[in-house]
Amino acid sequence: MKYQVLAGTLSKIEATSKRKEMTNYLVELFKAITPDHIRDVIGLIRGSPYPDYEDFQYGMAEKMVIKSIANATGLTTDQITEKMKEKGDLGKAAEEELATKKQTTLFTKPLDVKYVSETLDKIGRTSGKGSVDVKIKLLAGLLTNATPLEARYIIRTILGQMRLGMADMTIMDALAIAYTDNATNRPIIERAFNISSDLGLIAEKLVKEGIESVKDFKVTIRHPIRMMMAQRSGETEEIFEKLKGTFIAEFKYDGERLQIHKDGETILLFSRRLEEISEQYPDVCEMVRTQINAKKTIIEGEVVAYNIETGELRPFQELMHRRRKYGIKEAMKAIPVNLFLFDLLYLEDKDFTNKNYPLRRKALEKIVTETEQLRLAVQKEIITEDELEEFFELAVEKGCEGIMAKSIQDSIYQAGARGWLWIKYKRDYKSEIADTLDLVVIGAYMGYGARTGYYGSLLMACYDPIENQFKSVCRMGSGFTDEHLETLQKLLKPYQVSDKPPRVLINDSIITTVDAWFKPAIVLEVQAAELTLSPVHTCALDKIRKGSGLAMRFPRFTGRIRDDKTAEQATSQQEIIDLFKGQLKKIE
């Protein structure tokens, strides 16, 4: 299959923001490809030949890519840099230069999907001495044979700037329609994705072996399972009602979630974003190796910083110092950790995700040798309100954020879902509005006075997974220290773009007021006083009242950068609607 066909589809997708149209373009593409190409095509659409959990990087900075373009076009790097500034995007700049300046050699051959995929893979895998030149040459080779449109997408792929605005859900819809003629098969594909996080593998199975084989998809060790999430509640009555009168309450530890895969002596730790972070926690790996008595298992827990002298648990902010690539030994000493285990999803070739929670916990208990550092999450079966309040107070006293109430009936592990089988009840709920929200930075306004040169306030959005859009919910200007301002400026820089990103939905009246736009990537924790109807913000637009959205009043940055969350894992529009409704109930 020609890469040109794929590039054509990508450009049509880029030009629309309608999910239905995107799906149709993909269906057309999928119908035209041969089974052997599907994995490459999925990889090229998603921007990497590998699933997200493989830490695969192309390792080419903008400067190197500019050199490749120079090699392929005969232009100078200055000319290309100039063009990039004019276009605000290196992909578009290369496209234009190739269209006008391309040295037409007689030997250009049309690019094949497989060849592009393999060359990109090679670029990523080349490392060590001399690798800079090899990477530049490999990319220049591709560009020499590329049409201008192909060059746009090859470069954006390499730089991780695909900007298609398309969610995995759309790809799954299109797979179901193209290969089963039935959109209602999407949930089967989705379940397989939730337990394997590898869309390329699933698509290949679907194409070659049919939907039945996808139905049979099994949890596999070393393939991370998308994590189950919790709903929130500020009302104890609601917790009892949702969990049918009796449930298990557990301490909600304030650390970092880990999904742990133990395969013999090999221990892999996956973060909340399903990135492999085993190297950050050699101490945790060692505990698992010696204290988990199973050959093959997938378990989950929370790693929490603690004070070695008093044994007290420390807040999440301290654990964040463990997030580093170098100086790990020192960090391990300075910030020792405890691991609290709370779930088991797989044991010795058996999938436990479809079993009820009490059974999973029992299986977990059987394989753990507890010590001070590695323990099971404290839990208690709850029948009365008093028991719940008492357990909550105990959790807070022990340095936890609150509790997690977990269903004991029909309580499977809902991979990738935020359902009512788990309900979090936190200390924050007792102040201001129920809970903090995790919102995505989509824009910024320059500061005045003491904040001159820095962003003075940020435009924040929630995520709407149905429309795959980021919708504004507030402008946040308080809670920032000077240190935050500097850190945020640096953190946001790589995501700055010249125009409003396609997946961002904001009211026309504020578009021209925004000084800087960002690709949705950075998630911040925000506390607010309350939610109100808003004529300006697009979160929940028309959902509560025609012509109005929802906004947060007096939003304040809590100081917590949620780098354990992707933009799509930010607070959803539905959660904000639920919070607003809960707030109304309280007033009544």
What residues act catalytically? 252
Q: Which CB sits closer to ligand ATP, 253 or 557?
A: 253
Find out whether 314 and 399 touch, Cβ atoms under 8 Å: yes
Does residue number 360 form part of the binding site for ligand ATP (CB under 6 A)? no
Find out whether 173 and 186 touch, Cβ atoms under 8 Å: yes
The least CB distance from residue 568 to ligand ATP, in Å, is 12
Could you say which of 5, 230, 332, 536 contacts ligand ATP (CB under 6 A)? Answer: 230
Fill in the per-residue mask, 364 to 393: x = in contact with ligand ATP (CB under 6 A), - = not in contact: -------------x----------------
Stretch that binds ligand ATP, among 120-128, 248-256, 281-289, 320-328 (CB under 6 A): 248-256
Find out whether 52 and 42 touch, Cβ atoms under 8 Å: no
Footprint (CB under 6 A) of ligand ATP, residues 261-280: 272
Stretch that binds ligand ATP, among 66-74, 246-254, 363-371, 384-392 (CB under 6 A): 246-254
Find out whether 59 and 43 touch, Cβ atoms under 8 Å: no
Look at strands 337-347 and 374-376 and give their pairing: parallel
Does residue number 238 form part of the binding site for ligand ATP (CB under 6 A)? no
Alpha carbon distance 412, 343 (integer Å): 11
Q: Which CB sits closer to ligand ATP, 168 or 401?
A: 401
Tokens found for residue 550: 């929802």
Alpha carbon distance 252, 254 (integer Å): 7
The least CB distance from residue 428 to ligand ATP, in Å, is 9
Footprint (CB under 6 A) of ligand ATP, residues 401-460: 404, 424, 438
With b for 16 or more beta-carbon neighbours within 10 A and e for fewer, the 328-352 pattern comes to eeebbeebebbbbbbbbbbbeeebb
Residue 513, classified by CB atoms within 10 Å of its CB into exposed (0-12), middle (13-18) or buried (19+), is exposed
Q: Which of 120, 135, 122 is nearest to 65 (CA)?
A: 135
Q: Which CB sits closer to ligand ATP, 152 or 424?
A: 424
Q: Which of 488, 485, 549 is nearest to 521 (CA)?
A: 488
Does residue number 544 form part of the binding site for ligand ATP (CB under 6 A)? no
Does residue number 322 form part of the binding site for ligand ATP (CB under 6 A)? no
36: which DSSP letter? Answer: G
Alpha carbon distance 352, 225 (integer Å): 12
Stretch that binds ligand ATP, among 250-258, 281-289, 345-353, 537-545 (CB under 6 A): 250-258
The least CB distance from residue 455 to ligand ATP, in Å, is 24
Q: Which CB sits closer to ligand ATP, 186 or 242?
A: 242
The footprint of ligand ATP on this chain (CB under 6 A) covers a number of residues equal to 14
Does residue number 463 form part of the binding site for ligand ATP (CB under 6 A)? no
Alpha carbon distance 174, 258 (integer Å): 32
Q: Which of 506, 507, 502 is nearest to 519 (CA)?
A: 502
Fill in the per-residue mask, 482 to 501: x = in contact with ligand ATP (CB under 6 A), - = not in contact: --------------------
Could you say which of 247, 253, 495, 518 contacts ligand ATP (CB under 6 A)? Answer: 253
Does residue number 247 form part of the binding site for ligand ATP (CB under 6 A)? no
The least CB distance from residue 423 to ligand ATP, in Å, is 10
Alpha carbon distance 313, 305 (integer Å): 6
Could you say which of 53, 342, 463, 470 contacts ligand ATP (CB under 6 A)? Answer: 342
Could you list the residues that contact ligand ATP (CB under 6 A)?
229-230, 250-253, 257, 272, 302, 342, 377, 404, 424, 438
